[in-house]
Structures are given as structure tokens and as C-alpha cells.
Amino acid sequence: MELNNQSYQIQGLEMIELTKKYGTPLYVYDGEKILSQVKLLQEAFSSVDLKIKYATKALSNINILKLLKKAGTGIDAVSIEEVKLGMHAGFEPSEIMYTPNCVSFEEIQDAVELGVMINIDNIPMLEHFGKVYGNSVPICVRLNPHIMAGGNAKISVGHIDSKFGISILQLKHILKVVEAYGLNVIGLHVHTGSDILEAEVFLKGAEILFDAAREFRDLKFLDFGGGFKVAYKEGDISTNILDVGQKVSAAFKQFCLEYGRKLELWFEPGKFLVSESGYLLVRTNVIKSTPASTFVGVDSGLNHLIRPMMYDAYHGVVNISNPTGEQHIYSVVGYICETDTIAADRKMNDVKEGDIIAIRNAGAYGFSMASNYNSRLKPAEVLILGGKDYLIRERETFEDILKHQIDIGL
Ligand SMILES: *Cc1c(COP(=O)(O)O)cnc(C)c1O
């Protein structure tokens, strides 16, 4: 979003006008930003055979998936529903990586039937898979390298007592199962968590992956997961993607030389591709002053954006109705009956009732984690592409709240 002629705009469209046209609360995505993030990643890894598998769970509107398909990515899906959504959006099964955790074997069988790449996350499932499919279906194995990384315990998934992946300490056990059933392992995967800043963390993960990879002869790819950090605050540092690209590519090429074959290098970014593209636009219902704070109460809350409450995430807030006003300190809070502080003690230009607040970095894990808590409706979503706005999801109606309820006639 840019400030042009005293109004906040995305691709030349005034954000305030979008809220007049579509109402609030409203999710708005800058499609060009998503495309430029894809390009950035492709350029950073231009010296290797990079495959991007967009982490669908970050933002799963089919139009976003189609946009990414056009940009040349595949997807990572963590549920059979995401697999089906990806196929509905036009992805070939071969472009879909299915990375489930603690799902039933039946669900894995459904995914095999759909023809997607299966990423196996635990030893019992590996054995089960071997018994049923032997070497007839190629698979990837998810390893847990036990690297503590990431911004928050809830999004750090690589540590020793994490439920994700098969411990690298159990590599011998994995190899036994692979040998016993003649499993055709063509990929190895690590995903250490979100908000990884340093090339060094990726390199550490890479070294562990390379060591394990030497034990498998038929690999076609190594998958380094997602987790690139993006800037949420002004002055925040984001992952230096060019630095990561250079260092990881160099180490990867060296490994391929040793391995004797060129492999594909996969990444599964979610946040990196869509976080900064998204804004949640909300309307100020009330300004409430207490002796301690001035609250800006808005027409949204943890039902639409749970990250501030769930992960203590920082989301920038801007009063787009008053681009030039004097600054004061406010706390932006939601309308849910629960403490749902969206932003505490922030500077914003003088806020009046009715003003529209833009909440930044709402592209990733925003709408996809939204709920109907307090029987509220989920917002509409708008995609901006080529300077035009497209409604890509209708605002829910009261009928949606009743839709699956069964009145037993009491
Ligand atoms: C969530 C997830 C990702 C994406 O993580 P980001 O932090 O959004 O980049 C990638 N791979 C897997 C397996 C995931 O579960």
C-alpha cells in the first residue's frame, strides 16, 4: 500500500473506495506483491533446479492458488481437502506435495489414489505404507532435524519434543523399514518452523538433510520446507533471501556433485509469498478513553485475525481515513467478548468514529484461520490484479450461520 495524493492506494486503487464498495471488515490482497515475492525467490535460487510448493494453509482462496499456478509454483497441502482444493484450482497431482501430520491411513490412501506426492511423517505410517504399497508408489520422508528455530514456540516445529517429522536420531530405523519393504524414497523433507531469519539456520538444516540423503540412492529432490521471515514491524529484518539463496544453493550444488546426480531443491513458503500482500480493513465503531488507554474498537477481532492473540504476533495498523493527521497512541481492539487486542499502544493518525484502520500482514494465516466465533460472519475477500479489484469471496450472511444446524423441533 502506498500513500499517493493523500490517499492510501494499492496498484492505484484507493483503499477507502474499496471499503465503500465491498463493506467492512474486508480482506484485500495485492496480487502483484504475491507475484513479486515468487520472482524474488526464483531469482535467489536461479542457479539450482528450484521448485516452489506454496503452503496452501497460509491463504487458500482458489484465485490465490490459480495466481500462483500461473506464476509457476506447485503447492504443499496438509490435508486431503487442501489437495482437492489445489486440484480444483488446476494443479496437476504431480505438482502437489501432501504433508499430513497424524492423519488416518485411509486419508493417505485417498491421496495416493489422487496421485499426489506423499510425505510420510512417522514410522508406523511408513511401515503401514510399505505393507500396502511396497515400492509401487514413490514417497518423501519428513525428518525432524531438531533445530530450534522460529519466532514462537507454537510455530517452531523442529525441536526435540515436536510432534512433526521422524526424528533424525531414528534414521537407522527408517532405513530398516525402507529396506524391509523396498520403499521407493525419492525425497527427503525438513520444515523447522516459521520466522527463520538466518541463512545459517537453513544451512544447518541442509547439512543434516545432506547427511541423511547420503543413505538413500534414488532421491530426486530435497525439500527444505517453509519458514522465511517477513517484516511485520517497521525496521523489522526479514530473511535476506538473496543471502539464503546464495549460501544454500552453493551448499546444495556441492552436495549434488558428491551425490552424483542433480536433484531438485524444493521450498514450501507460505508467509513469505502472501503475508505482506494482505490487509484486513476494519471500521472504527467506538473510541473509548480510560484513564490508562485510548481504545479504538473495530468491527472485527480474533474471529477474523487470530495471530495477535494466538502467537503474540505484531501487525502494523494504519488509519487510512486520515493520512495526514496528528499522531496519538491507541490500542486497537476487536468486538469479540474476549480480550482481543489487535495492536497495543501504537501510534496512529488521529482516529474518529467511522475511520477505516488497515491491519497489515494479513495475507498469511488471516482468513484461513478465521472462524464464526460469537456467531459473526466471515469477511469478504478482494484480490487486486493489474490495477483492478475482483471480489473473490462473498461476505457470509446470517444463513451461513444456520446452514449446518439441525433444528430438532424443541
Ligand atoms: C506451515 C507449513 C509451511 C509454511 O510455513 P511458513 O512459515 O508460512 O512459510 C511449509 N511447510 C509445511 C509442512 C508447513 O506445515
Q: Which of 250, 269, 288 is the last residue of a domain?
A: 269
- Provide the Cα torsion 11, 12, 17, 19; round to 10°: 20
Q: Are residues 257 and 341 in the same domain?
A: no
Residues with a known catalytic role: 337
- Give the CATH number, domain containing residue 302: 2.40.37.10
pTM attached to this predicted model: 0.95
Please give the pLDDT value at position 230: 86
Protein residue closest via CA to atom 3 of ligand 1: 226
Q: Which structural domain, as residue segments, surrounds residue 120?
A: 60-269
Q: Is 360 annotated for ligand binding? A: no
Q: Are residues 182 and 252 in the same domain?
A: yes
Partners of residue 267 on adjacent β-strands = 52
Domain assignment of residue 40, yes or no: no
Q: Are residues 279 and 394 in the same domain?
A: yes
Are 118 and 112 in contact, with CB atoms under 8 Å apart? yes
Sign of CA dihedral 355, 397, 9, 311: positive
- Among 34, 38, 41, 57, which is best to mutate for testing ligand 1, by the most ligand atoms less than 8 A from CB? 57
Q: Are residues 131 and 165 in the same domain?
A: yes
How far are the Cα atoms of 27, 113, 393 from residue 383, in angstroms, in the given order? 9, 33, 9
Segments of 268-395 assigned E as strands: 278-289, 294-298, 317-319, 327-333, 341-349, 356-359, 380-385, 388-393
Q: Per-residue pLDDT tens for 121-162?
A: 999 999 999 999 999 999 999 999 887 655 555 555 666 667
Q: Are residues 13 and 156 in the same domain?
A: no
> How would you write the pLDDT of the chain (410 residues) with one tens digit per residue?
999 989 999 999 999 999 999 999 999 999 999 999 999 999 999 999 999 999 999 999 999 999 999 999 999 999 999 999 999 999 999 999 999 999 999 999 999 999 999 999 999 999 999 999 999 999 999 999 887 655 555 555 666 667 889 999 999 999 999 999 999 999 999 987 666 667 787 888 899 999 999 999 999 999 999 988 887 887 777 778 888 899 999 999 999 999 999 999 999 999 999 999 999 999 999 999 999 899 999 999 999 999 999 999 999 999 999 999 999 999 999 999 989 999 999 999 999 999 999 999 999 999 999 999 999 999 999 999 999 999 999 999 999 999 999 999 99
Domain assignment of residue 211, yes or no: yes
Q: Are residues 130 and 228 in the same domain?
A: yes
For the chain, the residue count is 410
**CA nearest 142: which of 56, 198, 76?**
76
Q: Is 301 annotated for ligand binding? A: no
Q: Which of 269, 287, 304 is the last residue of a domain?
A: 269
Domain assignment of residue 53, yes or no: no
User: What is residue 258's three-state secondary structure?
Assistant: helix
Q: Is 338 annotated for ligand binding? A: yes
Q: Are residues 237 and 105 in the same domain?
A: yes
Q: Which of 269, 304, 339 is the last residue of a domain?
A: 269
Sign of CA dihedral 153, 76, 307, 241: positive
How does strand 327-333 pair with strand 294-298?
parallel
Q: Residue 207 is placed in which grid cell?
A: 547439512
Among all chains, which residue has been given the C-alpha cell 550444488?
253
Please give the pLDDT value at position 124: 96
- Among 103, 194, 273, which is best to mutate for testing ligand 1, by the most ligand atoms less than 8 A from CB? 194
